[in-house]
Amino acid sequence: MSPHPGWVASLLLAVVLLPLLSVAWLALESLNNPTAWWALWTAPQTVSAVALTLWTGLASTTLAWWISGWLLAQGFIRHRLAGMTRVLPAMLATPHAALAIGLLFLVAPSGWVLRAISPWLTGFEFPPPWPTTQDPWGLGLIAALVLKEVPFLLWTAATQLHRDDVRRRWQAEFSLAETLGYAPDRAWWLVVWPQLAPRLWWPLMAVLAYGLTVVDMALVIGPASPPTLAVLAWQWLQDADLAANAQGAAAGGLLALLVLVTGLGWRTLMRASWRPLDGRRGRVPTRHTDDRTARPGGVWAWRAILLIYGAIVLALAVGSVSGVWPFPAMLPEVWTLQAWITVWSSASTVTDTLLLAIGSTLLSLLWAVAWLELVPRRWDSALRPLLYLPLVLPGVLWVVGLYGLVLWLRWEGQWAGMLLAHTSLVLPYVLLALSPAYLGFDPRYRHLAESLGRSRWDFLWRIKWPLLRHALAASVAVGFAVSVAQFLPTLYVGAGRWNTVTTEAVTLAAGAQRSLTGAYAWLQFVLPVLGFALAAWVGRPRRFTVPST
């Protein structure tokens, strides 16, 4: 007997949408201050901060979108998508702040890149005063965002391409386009990509919103004078002056407006540019050659990205055990475990990080499975924009609403408030990761089980969930990584009473403690990697042995 969809949907909506809408309402209510808006408008840094925000956010999103589409084309044409997706979990597990800190260790004036070339090319004996990090043009921030968002877009696209029904249909259409005389890469851009791109709309919006509103990466490697608008809002919200706080909330509202306008503009361009099965419409990459194979450049680009990720991880590891390290020596003169001893002495930080990540992820998974299983499909489609609010609202504005809610609930600095803050941001990612596989599950399995007299619970427990365990485990790993990477919610809702590896890493990155910063950033990387490794083990294909006769 199936549950009534009306009251089930209402209950699930009440559990999630009441807190979400309360946070959104409190955040928007904080914007009702004309004085704060006027102060924001007249602030000397506002115009420059807005310009930097638009430049870094749009440039990084455009590059990540284009590189992802290009790499997907090469993987699809050359049948190498499986190999590419095999390494994506480790890249997805790398938190934004840890990647920014590792990139900082590489490209800083005293970083490994200059250390490697100085003895032969530059002859520098001291680090040069070059703005290779926190440069005024935001190039370091753009590079860090692109490196982080390309794997995310590839992974969300792979969840679509790995669906049997979608893959078979698109492969057949792609082969048909080839038989009509289209080169493989042109067939991809004309046939497959216009159908795949709309399915990536919400992941793309998450990337765009994050690029426009990022704080932790911008604090580590972004421009400093002036900073981006999100960092400026964060600085005002940190001020003890209530007028400055209101100005920071207004800056968060301006960020929300920028996300809305740029998102609508991007949507309009997508609809106007990409038209499937019609080579006369839209501007698509084309080849004027008779070569019938895919360009090999995608392979080298993918290897370059992997090499950069490997160098970042290695830089974090070496930095965490480095002592005296004069320039331009490639390796430290003194190796020490003092930073790790300090980390071990504050084991409660790691424990709090793990408990928050596990608790928020499990709650999000339970809700997402119940939602996808019990709520009618039309309800799900209509309410998705509300469920994805935390993905598209600026982080600084979201924490203003979160802080107002936990103050009203008297959960400031409490475990319940921290769990609410993390779950509100983890749930959309878990739902986004789980939806393609769950909604694409073949309904004939259920009809067959019902014809054999199996109950719905029997079908779920013995058939559906075991077949979907890879998707379930992957969504748990994504949620765990998202929780570990949270900076602003932990900082504000925790009220200074809770520390996680992310808050410690970002705070230390502003100082000169390379080894301690590297230790916390390395730990911030390792924890999600272990989560993805465990998910891969849980979701591995089952093997059955046939007994010999």
Enter the tokens of residue 526.
Answer: 């390792």
Compute the distance between CA of residue 229 and CA of residue 263 in angstroms, rounded to an integer. 17
Smallest Cα–Cα separation from 36: which of 246, 254, 251, 256?
246
CATH number of the domain within which 451 lies: 1.10.3720.10
103 and 144 Cβ atoms separated by less than 8 Å: yes
Residue 339 pLDDT = 85
Number of domains present in the structure of the chain:
1
Compute the distance between CA of residue 307 and CA of residue 297 in angstroms, rounded to an integer. 15
The string of DSSP codes covering 277-312 is T-TTSS------S---S--THHHHHHHHHHHHHHHH
Compute the distance between CA of residue 188 and CA of residue 165 in angstroms, rounded to an integer. 18
Task: Kindly state whether residue 227 falls inside one of the protein's structural domains.
Answer: yes
Residue 146 pLDDT = 95
Q: Strand pairing partners for 335?
A: 322
Measure Cα distances from 447 to 450, 458, 464 in Å.
5, 13, 12
450 and 468 Cβ atoms separated by less than 8 Å: no
Compute the distance between CA of residue 530 and CA of residue 315 in angstroms, rounded to an integer. 19
Task: Kindly state whether residue 275 falls inside one of the protein's structural domains.
Answer: yes
Enter the tokens of residue 43.
Answer: 């602030």
Residues spanned by the domain of 303? 12-280+296-538
Task: Kindly state whether residue 69 falls inside one of the protein's structural domains.
Answer: yes
- Per-residue tens of pLDDT for the chain, all 549 residues: 445 556 666 777 777 777 777 877 877 777 778 888 898 888 888 999 999 999 999 999 999 999 999 999 888 887 777 777 788 888 888 888 889 888 988 888 888 888 887 767 666 777 777 777 788 899 999 999 999 999 999 988 888 887 777 778 888 888 888 888 888 888 888 888 888 888 888 889 989 999 999 988 998 888 888 899 999 998 888 887 888 888 888 888 899 899 999 999 998 888 776 554 444 444 444 444 444 444 556 677 888 899 999 999 898 888 888 888 887 778 888 888 888 888 888 888 889 999 999 999 999 999 999 888 888 888 888 888 888 888 888 888 888 888 888 888 888 888 889 999 999 999 999 998 898 888 888 788 888 887 887 777 888 888 888 888 888 998 999 999 999 988 888 888 887 788 888 888 888 876 667 788 888 888 888 899 899 889 888 877 665 454 444
Alpha helices in 94-183 (DSSP H): 96-107, 112-117, 139-161, 164-179
Q: Per residue in 53-78, is it b (16+ CB within 10 Å) or e — as a string?
A: bbbbbbbbbebbbebbbbbbbbbbbb
Task: Kindly state whether residue 548 falls inside one of the protein's structural domains.
Answer: no
Q: At what angle do helices 81-93 and 139-161 cross, to 10 degrees?
A: 130
User: Exposed, middle or buried, 7 (CB in 10 Å: 0-12/13-18/19+)?
Assistant: exposed
Task: Kindly state whether residue 135 falls inside one of the protein's structural domains.
Answer: yes
DSSP state, residue 322:
B
Enter the tokens of residue 179.
Answer: 């038989």
Instruction: Please name the helix (run of DSSP H) or strand (run of DSSP E) that holds residue 20, with its range, or none.
Output: helix 5-29
Task: Kindly state whether residue 518 falls inside one of the protein's structural domains.
Answer: yes
